[in-house]
Amino acid sequence: MMRLRFAAIAATLLALGTTCAKADAVEEFYKGRLVTIMVGASAGGGTDAYARAIAPYLGQYLQGHPNIIVKNKWGAGGTIAASWFSNRAERDGSVMLLTLSGALMNQVLQAAGVKYDMSKYRWIGRMADEPKLLTVWNGVAETFEDAKKKEILLSASGKGSTSYLLPTILNGLFDTKFKVITGYKGVHKMLFAVEQREVQGVSTNLYSILSRAPHFLLKDRKTTPLVVYNTERLKLFPNVPLATEFAKTERQKRVLSLMFGPIALGRSLAFPPGTPDDRVAAMRKAFNTAVADKDFLAFAKKRRVYIHPAEGEKLDAIVDSVVNAPKEIISATRDLIGTKSK
């Protein structure tokens, strides 16, 4: 009996020693190190704001307390950044990616330029989902049905972005007449184009509009929301219909459902494939602590950075649901938007 007790104690001490050794190794790695969050969007935009908000708090809670900086690699709805991240970023825990929902859409649609597989990423955690809203300047249209009767110009970043993809899918499914004008570098320029009447509306992340142009939707209400891309109606706009509410056929419903995964993934942080398990675990712990920190939440609220977190382990299932979607639905969606193969 005594031998068994000694054996149990020895095993426990060995496990504790191994855990401590791993913790010491993580701390040693990150101490004095420069860690980068790569953002697939332009500086000053909504996605960029999330990276810059979380960076100092991750550094505060991560063992070794590294200096965490933000860099931007803009283009193709996050595809350029994701491709660089998957093929050129260090796999030692010193580089993270803040995702864009367009990058996941482009992967599943097999768009040109996609050189990554997000199902292999080491997910750290989600800062917020990305419910999308299509809204137009007041007087342009009152309802979604109006968009079937006349052409409405929308601003977008590029053809790989959801600001382009989602209105194009609506045109194919419901015969709306949205004409999407690309080339606006970042959501702030997309919104500015609406305000300057270069275009008549925009289809983008709800949180980006609320943070960058709250007068579009809140107090002054300069725009009229026509449709929401989400799994449920928004609490802020309970009378604005979901895109799925216009779906009458099973094909329409299933094509629209393909975008729910990217919306749920939203603004999430990841390490590249091959990052050591102990560093992934340490960053996940730091992330979960940071997004619950009262000072961080107050800081984020002040800057209109909306937080709706999810743990890294849950993101694998979200990504897999999109990557493993039925081939016929992926093919139908590709046909709607005219995707060119990579």
Q: SS3 for 229?
A: strand
For residue range 70-97, list pLDDT tens digits in order. Answer: 999 988 888 999 999 999 999 999 999 9
What value does the mean pLDDT take over residues 147-176? 95
Q: So what's the pLDDT on residue 112?
A: 87
Residues ≥6 apart with Cβ < 8 Å to 47: 39, 40, 41, 98, 100, 187, 208, 267
pTM of the model: 0.85
Quick one: DSSP state of residue 64?
A: T
For residue range 222-265, list pLDDT tens digits in order. Answer: 999 999 999 999 999 999 999 999 999 999 999 999 989 999 99
Q: So what's the pLDDT on residue 71?
A: 97
For residue range 197-217, list pLDDT tens digits in order. Answer: 999 999 999 999 999 999 999
d(CA 311, CA 305): 18
Q: Using a pLDDT cut of 70, give the percent of the chain over it.
A: 92
What the block records as the tokens of 208 is: 């980006």
Q: Using a pLDDT cut of 90, give the percent of the chain over it.
A: 82
Distance from first CA to last CA of the chain, Å, rounded?
Answer: 66
Q: So what's the pLDDT on residue 18?
A: 52
d(CA 174, CA 227): 12
Q: So what's the pLDDT on residue 19?
A: 52
Q: What is the CATH number of domain 2-130+262-337?
A: 3.40.190.150
189 pLDDT above the threshold of 60: yes
Q: So what's the pLDDT on residue 101?
A: 87
Query: Which residues make up the CATH 3.40.190.10 domain(s) of the chain?
Result: 132-260
Q: So what's the pLDDT on residue 16?
A: 46
User: Can you spell out the DSSP letters for 244-311?
Assistant: GGG--SHHHHHHHHTTHHHHHH-EEEEEPTT--HHHHHHHHHHHHHHTT-HHHHHHHHHTT-----EE
pLDDT band at 22 (very low <50, low <70, confident <90, very high): low
191 pLDDT above the threshold of 50: yes
What value does the mean pLDDT take over residues 301-311? 94
Q: So what's the pLDDT on residue 81?
A: 95
Q: So what's the pLDDT on residue 102?
A: 87
What value does the mean pLDDT take over residues 122-137? 97
Residues ≥6 apart with Cβ < 8 Å to 52: 70
What value does the mean pLDDT take over residues 122-150? 97
pLDDT band at 8 (very low <50, low <70, confident <90, very high): low
For residue 33, which of 279, 293, 291 has the smallest C-alpha distance? 279
Q: SS3 for 202?
A: strand
299 pLDDT above the threshold of 90: yes
Quick one: DSSP state of residue 242?
A: B
What value does the mean pLDDT take over residues 262-284? 97
Q: How confident is the prediction for the chain on average, in pLDDT?
A: 92
Task: Please count the other Cβ atoms lying within 10 Å of the Cβ belonging to residue 6.
Answer: 10
Q: Which CATH superfamily is domain 132-260 in?
A: Periplasmic binding protein-like II (3.40.190.10)
**Extended beta strands in the chain, E state:** 34-39, 67-72, 95-98, 122-128, 132-137, 152-155, 178-181, 201-205, 223-229, 267-271, 310-311
d(CA 40, CA 95): 13
Query: Which residues make up the CATH 3.40.190.150 domain(s) of the chain?
Result: 2-130+262-337
286 pLDDT above the threshold of 60: yes
CA 44 vs. chain centroid, Å, equals: 16
